[in-house]
Amino acid sequence: MKMKWFNCLILMSWTYLSSAQITPQQYIETYQQIAVDEMQRTGIPASITLAQGILESGNGNSTLAVKARNHFGIKCHQTWKGPTFTQDDDEKNECFRKYKHAEDSYRDHSDFLLNGKRYAFLFEYGPTEYKKWAHGLKKAGYATNPQYAHRLIDLIEKHELHRFDLGQLAQKKSTDVAKPKHGDSKMNLAIQIGHEPKTENGVLYVVAKTSDSYESLTQELGLWRWELYKYNDVSEGTVLKKGQRVYLRPKKNKSSRQMFEYTVQKNESLWEVSQKLGIKLKKLAKRNHLNPEADLKTGVVLKTR
């Protein structure tokens, strides 16, 4: 009898534990690190990632999150080759992506936004512009709920998730990742380190000095490791030369001025033109049906918008 009663207690305990609901705070504590890691990797605000995870997965308590480790409600689509999970949603028996670990869901969520053409414009916003990201996600059609953006913003502000966009988290083990400095804008920081901030096409930049490198400016300005490389369309390890422009924010997709064309000067590369005009290299190349690495002839006229 005693053994049966003991077994019954164990069964009751496991039943209680399995049915216990994760709270928002527990969810945040569990996934805050990977949200910040993904922000460093892709530029998606950690606050947005966490708010979407909380909202889409019901703090990790939804059937989809528990059984498929899918925290963002991402459906299979034609490109998905991994395991699947079937569940009723907008329609009956819809196909959702299934992951081995919740962390895999977070990484796939980042890649889903990063590689989706309809979300491309979001990456013009900085990691601290969570309101623009929230409204942008709704505009791009991530969710059908008309209040989706407001619900994300409410969650971010209620739980102060925006603090993670500033790197307010336990220090990463890696020493080569710069952390943002709090309270100063990029413009003020540029002035503090002896640079005169300027703008081109509405985008903030500084002119490189002899002692500057992408790595040193990253450290001095308190930026994420990926930022200057991405904003300036260069790969990691590229040598920065004196006099070159270094954009501190994403360049634009096109000229914002009433300048529709640009005539290529002697020995100019497409990258140099994109830096001169403050236009993203890939966008400039696509608009002119060129390869970003293409050689340009002097006098060629490029479309800028």
CATH, residue 80: 1.10.530.10
Count the domains in the chain. 3
The verdict on residue 13 lying in a domain is: no
If you write DSSP's letter for every residue of the chain in order, what string do you get? -HHHHHHHHHHHHHHHHHHPPPPHHHHHHHHHHHHHHHHHHH---HHHHHHHHHHHHTTTTSHHHHHH--SS--B-TTT--S-EEEE-SSSTTEEEE--SSHHHHHHHHHHHHHH-GGGGGGGGS-TT-HHHHHHHHHHHTS---TTHHHHHHHHHHHTTGGGGGGT-SSPPS-SSS--PPSS--HHHHHHHTT---EEETTEEEEEPPTT--HHHHHHHHT--TTHHHHHTT--TTPPPPTT-EEESSPPBSS-SSS--EEEPPTT--HHHHHHHHTB-HHHHHHHTT--TT----TT-EEE--
Q: At what angle do helices 46-57 and 24-42 cross, to 10 degrees?
A: 140
Strand 94-97, strand 84-87: pairing? antiparallel
Q: Are residues 241 and 265 in the same domain?
A: no
Is residue 141 in some structural domain?
yes
Domain-located, residue 178: no
What integer pLDDT is reported at residue 147 of this predicted model? 95
Instruction: Based on the fold, state whether residues 31 and 116 are members of the same structural domain.
Output: yes
Residue 225's identity, in one-letter code, is R
* 12 assigned to some structural domain: no
Let me know whether 143 and 82 are in one domain. yes
**Does any domain span residue 32?**
yes
Residue whose pair of structure tokens reads 């936004």 in the numeric block: 113
Q: Are residues 191 and 57 in the same domain?
A: no
9 assigned to some structural domain: no
Q: Are residues 115 and 215 in the same domain?
A: no
Residue at which a domain ends, from 247, 270, 292: 247
Do 142 and 190 lie in one domain? The reply is no
Partners of residue 84 on adjacent β-strands: 97
- Do residues 69 and 121 share a domain? yes
Note whether 111 and 231 are same-domain residues.
no
Is 107 contained in some domain?
A: yes
Give residue 212's identity as a one-letter amino acid code.
Answer: D
Q: Residues 125, 193: one domain?
A: no
Last-in-domain residue among 138, 166, 194: 166
Among 203, 224, 247, give the residue marking a domain's end.
247
pLDDT of residue 4: 45
Q: What is the CATH number of the domain that holds 271?
A: 3.10.350.10
Of 144, 150, 148, 165, nearest in space to 50 by CA: 165
At 10 the pLDDT is 40
Q: Rounded distance, CA 109 to CA 275, Å?
A: 31
Residue 265 lies in a domain: yes
pLDDT in the model for residue 166:
78
pLDDT tens, the chain, 305 aa long:
444 443 444 444 434 334 468 899 999 988 998 898 888 788 889 999 999 999 999 999 999 999 999 999 998 988 888 999 998 877 888 899 999 998 999 999 998 998 888 998 898 887 788 999 999 999 999 988 999 999 999 999 999 999 888 765 533 333 333 333 333 356 666 666 778 878 787 788 889 999 899 999 888 887 887 889 999 999 988 899 999 999 988 888 888 666 788 898 999 999 999 999 999 999 999 999 999 888 889 899 999 88
Q: CA-based Rg of the chain, rounded to a whole angstrom?
A: 23
Domain span including residue 141: 18-166
C-alpha span between 169 and 47 (Å, rounded): 12
CA separation for the pair 89, 62 (Å, rounded)? 13
Q: What is the pLDDT of residue 168?
A: 56
Answer yes or no: do 110 and 144 share one domain: yes
> Which is nearest to 123 in space by CA: 255, 258, 280, 12?
280
116 and 206 fall within a common domain: no
Q: What gap in Å lies between CA 204 and CA 224, rounded to an integer? A: 17
The reply to whether 136 and 200 lie within a common domain is no
Residue 280 backbone dihedrals phi, psi, to 5 degrees: -60, 135
